[in-house]
Amino acid sequence: MTAWKAFRGGLWDEIPVLRLMLGLCPTMAVTTSVKGGLTMGLSVVFVLICSNVVVSMMRNLLKPHLRIMMFTLTIAAFVTIADMYLKAFQPVMSEKLGAYIPLIIVNCIIICRSEACAAKNGIWVSAVDGLAMGLGFTIVLCFLASIREILSTGCITFSETAVWTVLNPVDKGGWFTPWAAMAMPVGAFITLGLTLGAVNQLTKKKA
Amino acid sequence: MSNSIKLFFRESWLLMVSAVFFGALLAVANAAWAPKIAQNEINKFSNLAKALLPEAMKFEPLQNKDKIIIDLGDGKTAGADVRKGLDAAGNCIGWAFLAEGSGFADKIKLVVTADAGFTKLNGFGVQQCSETPGFGDKITIKNGFYQAQYKQAPAGKFTLTKIGDSKKIDSEIVAITGATVTSQAVVNIMNTYVVQIKQQLQQKKLIGQ
Protein backbone atom coordinates (compact mmCIF):
# COMPACT_ATOMS: atom_id res chain seq x y z
CA MET A 1 0.00 0.00 0.00
CA THR A 2 1.28 3.48 -0.84
CA ALA A 3 0.71 6.61 1.24
CA TRP A 4 -1.38 8.14 -1.57
CA LYS A 5 -3.60 5.06 -1.79
CA ALA A 6 -4.05 5.15 1.99
CA PHE A 7 -4.90 8.84 1.87
CA ARG A 8 -7.42 8.47 -0.96
CA GLY A 9 -8.89 5.39 0.72
CA GLY A 10 -9.62 7.19 3.97
CA LEU A 11 -11.22 10.16 2.31
CA TRP A 12 -13.35 8.38 -0.30
CA ASP A 13 -12.74 4.78 -1.43
CA GLU A 14 -12.94 3.39 2.12
CA ILE A 15 -14.44 6.34 3.98
CA PRO A 16 -15.35 4.70 7.31
CA VAL A 17 -19.00 5.54 7.91
CA LEU A 18 -20.28 5.67 4.34
CA ARG A 19 -18.30 2.89 2.61
CA LEU A 20 -17.02 0.55 5.33
CA MET A 21 -20.09 1.07 7.57
CA LEU A 22 -17.82 1.36 10.60
CA GLY A 23 -18.16 3.77 13.53
CA LEU A 24 -21.94 3.99 13.24
CA CYS A 25 -22.65 4.19 17.01
CA PRO A 26 -20.81 7.48 17.63
CA THR A 27 -22.09 8.72 14.29
CA MET A 28 -25.66 8.31 15.52
CA ALA A 29 -24.98 9.59 19.01
CA VAL A 30 -22.84 12.70 18.66
CA THR A 31 -24.13 14.28 15.46
CA THR A 32 -26.72 16.45 17.25
CA SER A 33 -24.32 19.40 16.97
CA VAL A 34 -21.45 20.28 14.62
CA LYS A 35 -19.21 21.18 17.55
CA GLY A 36 -19.81 17.77 19.13
CA GLY A 37 -19.16 15.99 15.83
CA LEU A 38 -15.98 17.97 15.24
CA THR A 39 -14.65 17.26 18.74
CA MET A 40 -15.39 13.55 18.40
CA GLY A 41 -13.84 13.48 14.91
CA LEU A 42 -10.62 15.20 15.99
CA SER A 43 -10.33 12.90 19.01
CA VAL A 44 -10.61 9.91 16.66
CA VAL A 45 -7.97 11.46 14.34
CA PHE A 46 -5.56 11.73 17.29
CA VAL A 47 -6.20 8.18 18.49
CA LEU A 48 -6.03 6.72 14.96
CA ILE A 49 -2.70 8.37 14.10
CA CYS A 50 -1.08 7.49 17.45
CA SER A 51 -2.34 3.91 17.59
CA ASN A 52 -1.48 3.26 13.91
CA VAL A 53 2.06 4.56 14.41
CA VAL A 54 2.63 2.50 17.59
CA VAL A 55 1.12 -0.67 16.10
CA SER A 56 3.22 -0.21 12.96
CA MET A 57 6.38 0.17 15.09
CA MET A 58 5.70 -3.08 16.93
CA ARG A 59 4.29 -5.03 13.95
CA ASN A 60 7.28 -7.36 13.63
CA LEU A 61 7.16 -8.24 17.33
CA LEU A 62 3.43 -9.04 17.50
CA LYS A 63 2.50 -12.63 18.33
CA PRO A 64 -0.77 -13.75 16.71
CA HIS A 65 -2.47 -14.65 20.00
CA LEU A 66 -1.52 -11.30 21.61
CA ARG A 67 -2.40 -9.17 18.60
CA ILE A 68 -5.87 -7.98 19.66
CA MET A 69 -4.75 -7.47 23.26
CA MET A 70 -1.86 -5.26 22.12
CA PHE A 71 -4.15 -3.26 19.83
CA THR A 72 -6.65 -2.72 22.65
CA LEU A 73 -3.95 -1.71 25.12
CA THR A 74 -2.49 0.81 22.67
CA ILE A 75 -5.86 2.27 21.69
CA ALA A 76 -7.08 2.45 25.31
CA ALA A 77 -3.99 4.42 26.36
CA PHE A 78 -4.44 7.06 23.67
CA VAL A 79 -8.20 7.29 24.20
CA THR A 80 -7.63 7.89 27.92
CA ILE A 81 -5.16 10.66 27.07
CA ALA A 82 -7.68 12.24 24.67
CA ASP A 83 -10.41 11.96 27.32
CA MET A 84 -8.22 13.60 29.99
CA TYR A 85 -7.22 16.38 27.59
CA LEU A 86 -10.86 17.17 26.82
CA LYS A 87 -11.77 17.12 30.52
CA ALA A 88 -8.94 19.57 31.23
CA PHE A 89 -9.24 21.97 28.30
CA GLN A 90 -12.71 21.42 26.81
CA PRO A 91 -14.79 20.53 29.89
CA VAL A 92 -18.11 21.55 28.35
CA MET A 93 -17.62 19.39 25.26
CA SER A 94 -16.28 16.56 27.41
CA GLU A 95 -19.49 16.57 29.43
CA LYS A 96 -21.65 16.89 26.34
CA LEU A 97 -20.01 13.89 24.65
CA GLY A 98 -20.18 11.95 27.92
CA ALA A 99 -19.37 8.27 27.56
CA TYR A 100 -18.78 8.45 23.81
CA ILE A 101 -15.16 9.64 24.14
CA PRO A 102 -14.09 6.68 26.36
CA LEU A 103 -16.10 4.46 24.00
CA ILE A 104 -13.67 5.31 21.17
CA ILE A 105 -11.72 2.36 22.62
CA VAL A 106 -14.28 0.02 21.09
CA ASN A 107 -14.69 2.03 17.89
CA CYS A 108 -14.42 -0.48 15.05
CA ILE A 109 -12.61 1.95 12.75
CA ILE A 110 -9.55 2.12 14.96
CA ILE A 111 -9.11 -1.58 15.60
CA CYS A 112 -9.89 -2.26 11.92
CA ARG A 113 -7.11 0.10 10.77
CA SER A 114 -4.66 -1.40 13.27
CA GLU A 115 -5.37 -4.85 11.86
CA ALA A 116 -5.83 -4.02 8.17
CA CYS A 117 -3.15 -1.37 7.71
CA ALA A 118 -0.81 -0.62 10.64
CA ALA A 119 0.06 -4.26 11.37
CA LYS A 120 1.16 -4.75 7.74
CA ASN A 121 2.69 -1.42 6.71
CA GLY A 122 5.44 1.00 7.66
CA ILE A 123 5.11 3.98 9.99
CA TRP A 124 4.63 6.61 7.25
CA VAL A 125 1.84 4.76 5.44
CA SER A 126 0.15 3.89 8.77
CA ALA A 127 0.26 7.51 9.93
CA VAL A 128 -1.21 8.73 6.62
CA ASP A 129 -3.88 6.02 6.80
CA GLY A 130 -4.78 7.11 10.36
CA LEU A 131 -4.94 10.75 9.33
CA ALA A 132 -7.06 10.10 6.24
CA MET A 133 -9.44 7.68 7.96
CA GLY A 134 -9.84 10.11 10.86
CA LEU A 135 -10.44 13.05 8.56
CA GLY A 136 -12.94 11.03 6.52
CA PHE A 137 -14.78 10.14 9.71
CA THR A 138 -14.68 13.79 10.90
CA ILE A 139 -16.01 15.11 7.59
CA VAL A 140 -18.95 12.69 7.65
CA LEU A 141 -19.74 13.53 11.30
CA CYS A 142 -19.68 17.26 10.57
CA PHE A 143 -21.81 16.83 7.44
CA LEU A 144 -24.48 14.80 9.24
CA ALA A 145 -24.32 17.05 12.32
CA SER A 146 -24.77 20.20 10.25
CA ILE A 147 -27.96 18.81 8.64
CA ARG A 148 -29.35 17.66 12.00
CA GLU A 149 -28.42 20.83 13.90
CA ILE A 150 -29.81 23.16 11.24
CA LEU A 151 -33.10 21.28 11.02
CA SER A 152 -33.44 20.83 14.80
CA THR A 153 -32.51 24.38 15.85
CA GLY A 154 -32.34 26.49 12.69
CA CYS A 155 -28.72 27.42 13.34
CA ILE A 156 -25.23 26.06 13.96
CA THR A 157 -23.81 26.99 17.35
CA PHE A 158 -20.03 27.13 17.72
CA SER A 159 -20.04 29.06 21.02
CA GLU A 160 -22.40 31.34 22.96
CA THR A 161 -21.32 34.27 20.80
CA ALA A 162 -20.68 32.48 17.50
CA VAL A 163 -24.01 31.29 16.18
CA TRP A 164 -24.61 30.91 12.44
CA THR A 165 -28.33 31.24 11.79
CA VAL A 166 -29.27 29.35 8.64
CA LEU A 167 -33.05 29.03 8.99
CA ASN A 168 -34.44 31.86 11.13
CA PRO A 169 -36.20 29.97 13.95
CA VAL A 170 -39.59 30.98 15.42
CA ASP A 171 -38.17 31.53 18.92
CA LYS A 172 -35.89 34.24 17.50
CA GLY A 173 -38.75 35.94 15.65
CA GLY A 174 -38.26 34.06 12.39
CA TRP A 175 -40.40 31.69 10.34
CA PHE A 176 -38.80 28.26 10.79
CA THR A 177 -40.31 25.82 13.27
CA PRO A 178 -37.43 23.57 14.42
CA TRP A 179 -37.88 19.82 13.92
CA ALA A 180 -37.22 18.41 17.39
CA ALA A 181 -37.12 14.88 15.92
CA MET A 182 -33.88 15.68 14.10
CA ALA A 183 -32.08 15.97 17.45
CA MET A 184 -33.33 12.53 18.44
CA PRO A 185 -32.21 9.07 17.28
CA VAL A 186 -34.87 9.06 14.56
CA GLY A 187 -33.19 12.13 13.04
CA ALA A 188 -29.85 10.32 13.05
CA PHE A 189 -31.31 7.29 11.28
CA ILE A 190 -33.09 9.39 8.64
CA THR A 191 -30.07 11.61 7.93
CA LEU A 192 -27.62 8.71 7.79
CA GLY A 193 -29.99 6.58 5.70
CA LEU A 194 -30.54 9.30 3.11
CA THR A 195 -26.81 10.09 2.99
CA LEU A 196 -25.93 6.40 2.52
CA GLY A 197 -28.54 6.15 -0.23
CA ALA A 198 -27.08 9.18 -2.00
CA VAL A 199 -23.52 7.82 -1.73
CA ASN A 200 -24.61 4.41 -3.01
CA GLN A 201 -26.35 6.08 -5.92
CA LEU A 202 -23.22 8.09 -6.71
CA THR A 203 -20.93 5.09 -6.61
CA LYS A 204 -23.26 2.57 -8.23
CA LYS A 205 -21.40 0.64 -10.90
CA LYS A 206 -23.14 0.39 -14.22
CA ALA A 207 -23.78 -3.13 -15.47
CA MET B 1 9.15 -25.26 35.61
CA SER B 2 11.91 -22.93 34.40
CA ASN B 3 10.94 -23.75 30.81
CA SER B 4 7.36 -22.71 31.42
CA ILE B 5 8.53 -19.43 33.00
CA LYS B 6 10.82 -18.80 30.03
CA LEU B 7 7.94 -19.53 27.67
CA PHE B 8 5.70 -17.17 29.61
CA PHE B 9 8.18 -14.30 29.34
CA ARG B 10 9.04 -15.06 25.72
CA GLU B 11 5.39 -14.95 24.75
CA SER B 12 4.31 -11.99 26.83
CA TRP B 13 7.29 -9.64 27.23
CA LEU B 14 5.93 -7.20 24.68
CA LEU B 15 2.62 -6.98 26.50
CA MET B 16 4.35 -6.36 29.84
CA VAL B 17 6.74 -3.74 28.42
CA SER B 18 3.85 -2.01 26.65
CA ALA B 19 1.73 -2.03 29.81
CA VAL B 20 4.57 -0.38 31.76
CA PHE B 21 5.19 2.16 28.97
CA PHE B 22 1.52 3.12 28.56
CA GLY B 23 1.04 3.16 32.33
CA ALA B 24 3.91 5.65 32.64
CA LEU B 25 2.48 7.70 29.76
CA LEU B 26 -0.91 7.89 31.48
CA ALA B 27 0.71 8.75 34.81
CA VAL B 28 2.52 11.68 33.18
CA ALA B 29 -0.70 12.88 31.49
CA ASN B 30 -2.60 12.52 34.76
CA ALA B 31 0.05 14.41 36.72
CA ALA B 32 -0.02 17.21 34.17
CA TRP B 33 -3.79 17.58 33.81
CA ALA B 34 -5.39 16.29 37.02
CA PRO B 35 -5.10 19.65 38.86
CA LYS B 36 -6.71 21.42 35.90
CA ILE B 37 -9.54 18.85 35.76
CA ALA B 38 -10.14 19.21 39.52
CA GLN B 39 -10.11 22.99 39.20
CA ASN B 40 -12.66 22.82 36.36
CA GLU B 41 -14.99 20.82 38.63
CA ILE B 42 -14.56 23.31 41.50
CA ASN B 43 -15.09 26.29 39.18
CA LYS B 44 -18.23 24.77 37.74
CA PHE B 45 -19.63 24.04 41.20
CA SER B 46 -18.79 27.57 42.39
CA ASN B 47 -20.23 29.25 39.30
CA LEU B 48 -23.49 27.30 39.53
CA ALA B 49 -23.80 27.84 43.28
CA LYS B 50 -22.96 31.55 42.96
CA ALA B 51 -25.64 32.01 40.31
CA LEU B 52 -28.18 30.64 42.80
CA LEU B 53 -26.75 32.37 45.89
CA PRO B 54 -25.40 35.62 44.45
CA GLU B 55 -24.65 37.18 47.86
CA ALA B 56 -22.23 34.36 48.76
CA MET B 57 -18.60 35.41 48.49
CA LYS B 58 -17.23 31.91 49.01
CA PHE B 59 -18.39 28.34 49.57
CA GLU B 60 -16.66 26.70 52.51
CA PRO B 61 -16.63 22.89 52.81
CA LEU B 62 -17.84 21.37 56.07
CA GLN B 63 -15.27 20.19 58.59
CA ASN B 64 -14.46 16.47 58.61
CA LYS B 65 -16.41 15.90 61.83
CA ASP B 66 -19.53 17.34 60.16
CA LYS B 67 -19.21 15.20 57.03
CA ILE B 68 -22.62 14.26 55.61
CA ILE B 69 -23.18 10.64 54.53
CA ILE B 70 -26.08 9.93 52.20
CA ASP B 71 -27.91 6.59 52.19
CA LEU B 72 -28.48 5.81 48.50
CA GLY B 73 -30.50 2.67 49.21
CA ASP B 74 -29.60 -0.98 48.58
CA GLY B 75 -26.95 -0.67 51.30
CA LYS B 76 -24.99 1.94 49.34
CA THR B 77 -23.78 5.16 50.91
CA ALA B 78 -21.90 8.18 49.60
CA GLY B 79 -20.31 11.25 51.12
CA ALA B 80 -22.07 14.48 50.10
CA ASP B 81 -20.09 17.58 49.12
CA VAL B 82 -21.99 20.12 51.23
CA ARG B 83 -20.66 23.69 51.39
CA LYS B 84 -21.61 26.66 53.49
CA GLY B 85 -22.24 29.87 51.50
CA LEU B 86 -20.58 32.78 53.33
CA ASP B 87 -21.08 36.48 52.70
CA ALA B 88 -18.34 39.11 52.92
CA ALA B 89 -18.72 39.29 56.73
CA GLY B 90 -18.40 35.50 57.06
CA ASN B 91 -22.06 34.91 57.90
CA CYS B 92 -23.77 31.79 56.58
CA ILE B 93 -26.35 32.88 54.01
CA GLY B 94 -27.13 29.50 52.51
CA TRP B 95 -26.02 26.00 51.63
CA ALA B 96 -24.86 24.43 48.40
CA PHE B 97 -24.33 20.76 47.70
CA LEU B 98 -23.67 18.37 44.86
CA ALA B 99 -26.38 15.77 44.29
CA GLU B 100 -26.32 13.00 41.72
CA GLY B 101 -28.36 10.09 40.46
CA SER B 102 -29.28 8.10 37.38
CA GLY B 103 -31.06 9.90 34.56
CA PHE B 104 -32.56 8.59 31.32
CA ALA B 105 -29.26 8.44 29.41
CA ASP B 106 -26.53 8.79 31.99
CA LYS B 107 -25.78 10.14 35.44
CA ILE B 108 -27.25 13.56 36.28
CA LYS B 109 -25.25 15.80 38.65
CA LEU B 110 -26.96 18.82 40.18
CA VAL B 111 -25.74 21.70 42.29
CA VAL B 112 -28.57 22.44 44.72
CA THR B 113 -28.75 25.46 47.01
CA ALA B 114 -30.89 26.20 50.05
CA ASP B 115 -31.35 29.18 52.35
CA ALA B 116 -29.43 29.56 55.63
CA GLY B 117 -32.08 27.73 57.69
CA PHE B 118 -32.48 25.01 55.04
CA THR B 119 -36.22 25.67 54.93
CA LYS B 120 -36.46 26.61 51.27
CA LEU B 121 -34.44 25.73 48.19
CA ASN B 122 -32.91 28.49 46.07
CA GLY B 123 -33.07 26.22 43.04
CA PHE B 124 -30.61 23.99 41.24
CA GLY B 125 -28.06 24.17 38.47
CA VAL B 126 -26.93 21.27 36.29
CA GLN B 127 -23.32 20.18 36.67
CA GLN B 128 -23.59 17.16 34.35
CA CYS B 129 -26.39 15.99 32.09
CA SER B 130 -26.49 13.85 28.95
CA GLU B 131 -30.28 13.69 28.63
CA THR B 132 -32.09 13.66 25.28
CA PRO B 133 -31.64 16.94 23.40
CA GLY B 134 -34.91 18.82 23.03
CA PHE B 135 -36.61 16.80 25.79
CA GLY B 136 -34.76 15.69 28.92
CA ASP B 137 -32.08 18.34 28.51
CA LYS B 138 -34.73 20.98 29.24
CA ILE B 139 -33.77 20.54 32.90
CA THR B 140 -30.61 22.50 32.03
CA ILE B 141 -32.48 25.62 30.87
CA LYS B 142 -31.73 28.37 33.39
CA ASN B 143 -34.97 29.91 34.60
CA GLY B 144 -36.92 27.47 32.41
CA PHE B 145 -40.26 26.30 33.81
CA TYR B 146 -38.79 23.09 35.26
CA GLN B 147 -35.93 24.71 37.18
CA ALA B 148 -38.23 27.57 38.31
CA GLN B 149 -40.45 25.12 40.19
CA TYR B 150 -37.66 24.45 42.69
CA LYS B 151 -36.96 28.12 43.48
CA GLN B 152 -38.29 28.91 46.94
CA ALA B 153 -39.84 25.43 47.11
CA PRO B 154 -39.93 23.87 50.61
CA ALA B 155 -36.80 21.84 51.37
CA GLY B 156 -38.46 18.46 51.78
CA LYS B 157 -39.86 15.57 49.74
CA PHE B 158 -41.07 16.30 46.22
CA THR B 159 -43.62 14.45 44.12
CA LEU B 160 -43.91 14.45 40.34
CA THR B 161 -47.15 15.09 38.50
CA LYS B 162 -47.85 15.16 34.76
CA ILE B 163 -50.65 17.72 34.98
CA GLY B 164 -50.65 20.72 37.29
CA ASP B 165 -49.78 24.36 37.67
CA SER B 166 -46.03 24.69 37.27
CA LYS B 167 -46.16 28.31 38.48
CA LYS B 168 -47.43 27.26 41.90
CA ILE B 169 -44.38 26.85 44.14
CA ASP B 170 -44.87 23.80 46.35
CA SER B 171 -43.58 20.28 46.70
CA GLU B 172 -45.48 19.10 43.59
CA ILE B 173 -43.30 19.26 40.47
CA VAL B 174 -44.85 19.28 37.00
CA ALA B 175 -42.97 16.99 34.60
CA ILE B 176 -41.46 18.08 31.29
CA THR B 177 -43.65 16.81 28.45
CA GLY B 178 -41.90 13.89 26.75
CA ALA B 179 -39.26 13.66 29.47
CA THR B 180 -41.03 12.10 32.43
CA VAL B 181 -38.09 9.82 33.21
CA THR B 182 -35.66 12.75 33.43
CA SER B 183 -38.16 14.82 35.44
CA GLN B 184 -38.62 11.90 37.85
CA ALA B 185 -34.85 11.42 38.06
CA VAL B 186 -34.38 15.01 39.26
CA VAL B 187 -37.18 14.56 41.82
CA ASN B 188 -35.55 11.33 43.03
CA ILE B 189 -32.16 13.04 43.36
CA MET B 190 -33.76 15.86 45.36
CA ASN B 191 -35.65 13.42 47.58
CA THR B 192 -32.49 11.41 48.26
CA TYR B 193 -30.27 14.35 49.13
CA VAL B 194 -32.36 17.27 50.41
CA VAL B 195 -34.13 15.44 53.25
CA GLN B 196 -31.05 13.55 54.46
CA ILE B 197 -28.76 16.58 54.34
CA LYS B 198 -31.34 18.67 56.20
CA GLN B 199 -31.74 16.00 58.89
CA GLN B 200 -28.00 15.58 59.37
CA LEU B 201 -27.35 19.34 59.48
CA GLN B 202 -30.03 19.54 62.19
CA GLN B 203 -28.45 16.66 64.11
CA LYS B 204 -25.06 18.37 63.93
CA LYS B 205 -26.76 21.61 65.09
CA LEU B 206 -25.53 23.49 62.02
CA ILE B 207 -29.11 24.63 61.38
CA GLY B 208 -32.15 25.03 63.60
CA GLN B 209 -34.79 22.32 64.11
The region of weakest confidence among A53-62, A94-103, B31-40, B153-162 is: A94-103
Distance CA B82, CA B67 (A): 8
pLDDT of residue A75: 94
CB contact under 8 A, A77 and B22: yes
CB contact under 8 A, B130 and A96: yes
Which residues does chain B have within 8 Å of residue A91's beta carbon, measured at their own beta carbons? 37, 40, 44
Q: Where in chain B are the domains?
A: 50-203
Nearest CA in chain A to B135: A180
CB contact under 8 A, A98 and B33: no
CB contact under 8 A, A184 and B132: yes
Q: How confident is the model at residue A206 (pLDDT cuts 50, 70, 90)?
A: low
**Could you tell me if the ipTM is greater than 0.85?**
no
| Side chain identity, residue B177 | T
Distance CA A159, CA A33 (A): 11
The residues near B76 (Cβ < 8 Å, ≥ 6 apart) are: none
CB contact under 8 A, B36 and A89: yes
Beta strands at B172-174 and B76-80: parallel, antiparallel or unpaired = unpaired
For the cut 80, the answer to whether the pLDDT of residue A207 exceeds it is no
pLDDT of residue A92: 86
The 8 Å CB, 24+ separation contacts for B85-89 are B85/B49, B85/B53, B85/B55, B85/B56, B85/B58, B85/B59, B85/B113, B86/B56, B86/B57, B86/B58, B86/B59, B86/B60, B87/B55, B87/B56, B87/B57, B88/B57
Q: How confident is the model at residue A205 (pLDDT cuts 50, 70, 90)?
A: low
pLDDT of residue A191: 94
pTM of the model: 0.79
Q: In this prediction, what percent of chain A has a pLDDT beyond 70?
A: 99
Q: In this complex, which of B18, B40, B133 lies closest to A91 when CB atoms are compared?
A: B40
Per-residue pLDDT of A184-201, as tens digits, reads: 889 999 999 999 999 988
Nearest CA in chain A to B28: A81
pLDDT of residue B209: 65
For the cut 60, the answer to whether the pLDDT of residue A79 exceeds it is yes
Three-state SS for B46-106 is HHHHHHHCCCCCEEEECCHHHCEEEEEECCEEEEECEEEEECCCCCEEEEEEEEEEECCCC
For the cut 80, the answer to whether the pLDDT of residue A61 exceeds it is yes
Per-residue pLDDT of A10-35, as tens digits, reads: 888 888 888 888 889 889 988 988 99
Distance CA B43, CA B38 (A): 9
Contact residues, chain B to chain A, C-beta under 8 Å: 11-12, 14-15, 18-19, 22, 25-26, 29-30, 33-34, 36-37, 40, 44, 105-106, 128-130, 132-135
Distance CA A195, CA A192 (A): 5
Ranges of residues in chain B with a pLDDT under 50 are none
A174 CB within 8 Å of a chain B CB? no
CB contact residues (below 8 A), chain A span 149-168, against chain B: 152
Per-residue pLDDT of A116-163, as tens digits, reads: 888 888 999 999 999 999 999 999 999 999 999 999 988 888 877 788
